[in-house]
């Protein structure tokens, strides 16, 4: 998987599982020295504030380890609900699907070589 890790969440997670995911993923990034993490949530039907917080945590934690996190494939209903809930996943990059997520990570890596930090694509 080159410099990127891909995680596909296929079931609705309860809290303990989500926390495990967070811990495992951060471990994995450290072990592999991955420069990017893709989290595919296209099969997830509910993202509540807890799950949203986990996604945000993963993004911040991996960033400290010099890897960017992209959440891909969010369902329209989930996006609308998150906005209404008041959660816009600040600091988490998003993409429509895995392919585009990869492309986004690749451009971020390329940019890294060219210039210093650029967070222009961050979600507000």
Partner 1 sequence: MASSVSQLLKSNKARLLDLWIQKQLASENLRDDLMTNDELRGQSEDLIGALTKNITEENIDQVESNQFDEVFEILSGISLARAQQGFTPRETGLYIFSLKEAILELLQQEIKDTGELLTAVLKINRLLDSLGVVTFETFIKGREEVILRQTEEISDISTPVIQIWEGILALPIIGTLDSSRTQVVMESLLQKIVDTGSSIAILDISGVPAVDSLVAQHLIKTVSATRLMGAECIISGIRPEIAQTVVHLGIDLSNIVTKASLASALKHAFAMNRMVVRRLEVEKKTF
Partner 2 sequence: MLMTLSKDSMSITREQDLVPFRNRVKEAAVKIGMGIVNQTKLITAASELVRNMFRYAGGGEVLIEIVSKGRESGVRLTFADKGPGIANLDLAMQDGYSTGKSLGLGLPGAKRLVNEFDLKSTVGQGTTVMILKWKNG
How many other β-carbons are positioned within 10 Å of the β-carbon of residue 7? 16
DSSP state of 38: E
End-to-end CA distance of the chain: 29
Cβ pair 45, 78 in contact under 8 A: yes
Q: Which of residues 91-110 bind partner 1 (CB under 8 A)?
A: 94-97, 100-101
Print the binding letters for residues 43-72 with partner 1: x by CB under 8 A, - otherwise. Answer: ----------------------------xx
- What does 65 bind: partner 2, partner 1, none (CB cut-off 5 to 8 Å by kind)? none
Q: Which residues contact 80 (CB under 8 A, 6 or more apart)?
A: none
Residues that bind partner 2 (CB under 8 A): 11-12, 14-16, 45-50, 52-53, 75-78, 80-81, 84-87
Residues that bind partner 1 (CB under 8 A): 71-72, 74, 76, 78-80, 82-84, 88-89, 94-97, 100-101, 123-124
């Amino acid at each position: 998987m080159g410099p990127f890790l891909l995680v596909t969440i296929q079931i609705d997670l309860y809290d303990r599982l989500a926390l495990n995911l967070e811990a495992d993923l951060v471990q994995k990034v450290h072990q592999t020295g991955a420069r990017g993490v893709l989290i595919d949530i296209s099969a997830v039907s509910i993202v509540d504030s807890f799950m949203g917080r986990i996604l945000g945590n993963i993004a911040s934690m991996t960033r400290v380890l010099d890897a960017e996190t992209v959440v891909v494939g969010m369902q329209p209903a989930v996006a609308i609900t998150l906005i209404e809930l008041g959660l816009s996943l600040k600091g988490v990059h998003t993409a429509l699907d895995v392919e585009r997520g990869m492309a986004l990570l690749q451009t971020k890596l390329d940019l890294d070589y060219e210039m210093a930090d650029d967070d222009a694509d961050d979600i507000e």
